[in-house]
């Protein structure tokens, strides 16, 4: 075998091994590890649904981050601050895919509560309004957001054949499941 073919085969086996480890591991990859993993995989063709999904998902992750950041400012409860940082990592992982595939990031501002699609701005206002009622309501908002994330991620994973998206969305789903457990305690 030529040296180039051996290198290609080694790279492919490494990527497959990492993917299998991700699928069967009880621990999850960090945002940095996930981003690094997708940087080694070849770019493949995305469908219009994949592109729309990525553009929606970065906003959904920003929605969670912005709501939790706002609720942290009200209640100063560490769970909101910790999960705010995690949601930023989720945004960074989706942004890595947008960058890799040269897809326009719909987010033109990082301003809290501002989104490209009015749906997310409206949902942000509704969730913050609910969360301001009481600490119990704020924690319930966290549960609501994470359940929505998990549902949307499961649906998106089932509809794509792109391995990069499956890896990143799997990472996001694992994070959302952890967040849901934290808010449900």
Give me the CATH number covering residue 31: 1.20.1260.10
- C-alpha dihedral over 57, 61, 63, 67, to 10 degrees? 160
What's the whole-model pTM score? 0.83
pLDDT, tens digit only, all 185 positions of the chain: 555 565 554 445 445 444 543 443 334 566 677 777 777 777 889 999 999 999 999 999 999 999 999 999 999 999 999 999 999 999 999 999 999 999 999 999 999 999 999 999 999 999 999 999 999 999 999 999 999 999 999 999 999 999 999 999 999 999 999 999 999 98
Tokens of 128: 């913050």
Tokens of 16: 């497959």
| Structural domain span for residue 70 | 3-184
| Terminal alpha carbon distance of the chain | 56
- Sign of the C-alpha dihedral computed for residues 167, 143, 82 and 177 taken in this order: negative
Residue-level length of the chain: 185
Number of independent structural domains in the chain: 1
Question: Under a CB-based contact definition with an 8 Å cutoff, are residues 167 and 37 in contact?
Answer: yes
Long-range pairs of 50-53 with CB within 8 A, sequence gap ≥ 24:
50/160, 50/162, 50/165, 51/101, 51/103, 53/156, 53/159, 53/160, 53/165
Question: Under a CB-based contact definition with an 8 Å cutoff, are residues 61 and 94 in contact?
Answer: yes
Closest CA to 101 of 19, 165, 34: 165
């Amino acid at each position: 075998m030529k040296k180039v073919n051996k290198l290609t085969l080694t790279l492919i086996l490494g990527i497959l091994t990492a993917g299998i480890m991700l699928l069967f591991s009880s621990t999850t990859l960090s945002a940095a590890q996930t981003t690094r993993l997708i940087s080694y995989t070849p770019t493949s063709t995305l469908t219009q649904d994949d592109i729309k999904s990525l553009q929606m998902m970065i906003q959904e992750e920003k929605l969670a981050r912005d709501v939790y950041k706002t609720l942290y400012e009200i209640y100063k409860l560490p769970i909101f601050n910790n999960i705010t940082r995690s949601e930023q990592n989720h945004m960074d992982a989706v942004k890595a895919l947008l960058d890799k595939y040269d897809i326009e990031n719909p987010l033109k501002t990082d301003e809290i509560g501002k989104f490209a699609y009015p749906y997310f701005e409206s949902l942000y206002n509704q969730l913050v309004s609910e969360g301001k009622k009481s600490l119990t309501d704020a924690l319930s908002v966290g549960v609501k957001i994470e359940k929505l994330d998990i549902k949307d991620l499961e649906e998106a994973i089932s509809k794509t054949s792109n391995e990069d998206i499956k890896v990143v969305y799997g990472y996001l789903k694992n994070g959302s499941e952890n967040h849901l457990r934290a808010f449900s305690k």
